[in-house]
Structure 1
Amino acid sequence: MPFFLLLIWPALALGEVPDSFMRLTEGDGAKPRALQVALAHYRDGRGRTLDLVGAVHVADRGYFEGLQDRFDNYDVVLYEMVGDPGGTGGPPASIGLNLVGLLQGGMKDALGLAFQLEEIDYDRRNFVHADMTPAEFSDSMKRREESWMGTFLQLWAVSSVTQDPAAQQAQLLKVMFARDRQMALKRMMAESLVDQAHVLEVLADEDGSVLITERNRKALSVLKRELDKGARDLALFYGAGHLPDFHRRLTAEYGFELERVEWLDAWSLSGK
């Protein structure tokens, strides 16, 4: 299974939409410097602001610390996580994604990274659950006649077209013989994430999917509810793979316009 399926500061010109909400930057000698995710700022005709905050679920601890500081300044932070919002505190339980969670947790150790659920405080007063419950997710899957296996195979088919087996083997050999294997592996994984970021777009096409489209619709229904209640400065904290569909819906259906985009360092790739 491709690793990118497990994860799924400079500003752009005013209103410029990025090709992807995730990118790799380079330093001296064209060496990778950082894996970055977008923070896109929107405003509607009534002056209300919304920030799309791209999430990488396994990242440097400093990335999560910076996000937590920002989150304290919003009226409302809408967050993703298929789970029960009526729990007794702490991050909501994930659905049947235990395997993915374990792999993400293991990856943080292999890459020297931190795990989102351990670093972000979901008990903050302004945090609002904006995702499906497990029952809603399951019912939506059944209604659309989708399955986890079907979704996986769909993504696998698209990703396999873009993969070069020889290049992948060369990258693995490079990692094995690197002086700093952890950094070499981290760079390889970052490149894979960026190269394959567009694959999730398959799940947000005209037909859509539960994993992206239906969950985004649920999140935006919660956004509307919070706007109707008077919130004026909001953040929507979701995996970076969800952001292109959010952008389309916010601008076409909700009257928001993109003002600018910041890029946040999620993984530092500096090293020998």
Structure 2
Amino acid sequence: MRTLTERRLRLVGVAAQRAHDRLGRYPASAEQILVDYQGTTRSLIAESLVDAWGNPVQLKAGTSFDALSLGADGAPGGEANNADILLSELLASSAPRPRSPEFAGLQRDLADALHLQFQLDGIDYSHAHWRNSDLSVEQIQAALAGKPIPPKRHGPENHGTEPGADVSRADRTDTEKAADALFGALSGDSMLAKAMGFMMKMLGASSQARAMIKIVLADTLVHADAILQAQPAPLAELMKVLTVDRNTQVIHDLRAIIADEPETRSVAVFYGAGHFFDLEKRICSELGYRHESTLWVPAITIDINETGMTAAQLKGFRALMRRTIEQQLKQLD
């Protein structure tokens, strides 16, 4: 019950921060939090404004925001399940996770340079109710080689090359070679990746450079789908494997839950944003669900004052960025 209440308080905190970003002040009541939401999202947040024991969550708004559950007894103080639960204390006690040594490289360098948090450092994937719905290494290798994707094996995950696989064979596909280049850069193993990592660390030392990189990154991500669709065939096929083929495994696992686990009443698909254009369409068209509501949670914030530009200069810079991206897309067509 306490764990469920803690999760609800955290969701209330996210919704309150969104209201603050929109209004410039923190919400002082449940109504002020709920006004931005509809459908299922509104229902989830409304449910989170009541703790697991059925008591209303108390809100404290001013220059900061806090949310309080008085515990099972609904009274201040107490011990064990009767003890108060305060959102600010939950956030303060969230110890940083150990940095994962795997799959870091350039991605972690970029996160550190922008004062962001690398995904594998910031997210705990070990929860008992979380399930891995990704392709195995064997399946990804088959897809990259243009072969039929074999059924997923159950057992210890293989994190290396399949036994007997010859990664230096002469008939490797262009898609496999593109994958080598991409994964080598992301892992930080290549000389180019190491040079880029050093450059990022240098740029990250300047608040002005950090702000400018965030603006470039944000404007580029707006066009991410178009950029990926316009890539040469080997890279386009690689992106298909990394998104569409991996989404197919998610759809397969969702079908199994629907068929075999009638007691499971809700499922959350936790994936990178690049997967959801395809995944949402397929969940609706193949599984018969429908989209009801959308909630965006800010992942990157930018202090425009740190750019050192006036509003007019920044507007011109972003317009130049958009024109540059559009010209590159035309060249790729």
TM-score norm. by structure 2 comes to: 0.41
Q: Relative CO higher for 1 or 2, CA cutoff 8 Å, sep ≥ 6? A: 1
Which has the larger strand fraction? Answer: 1
Which has the larger helix fraction? Answer: 2
TM-score norm. by structure 1 comes to: 0.50
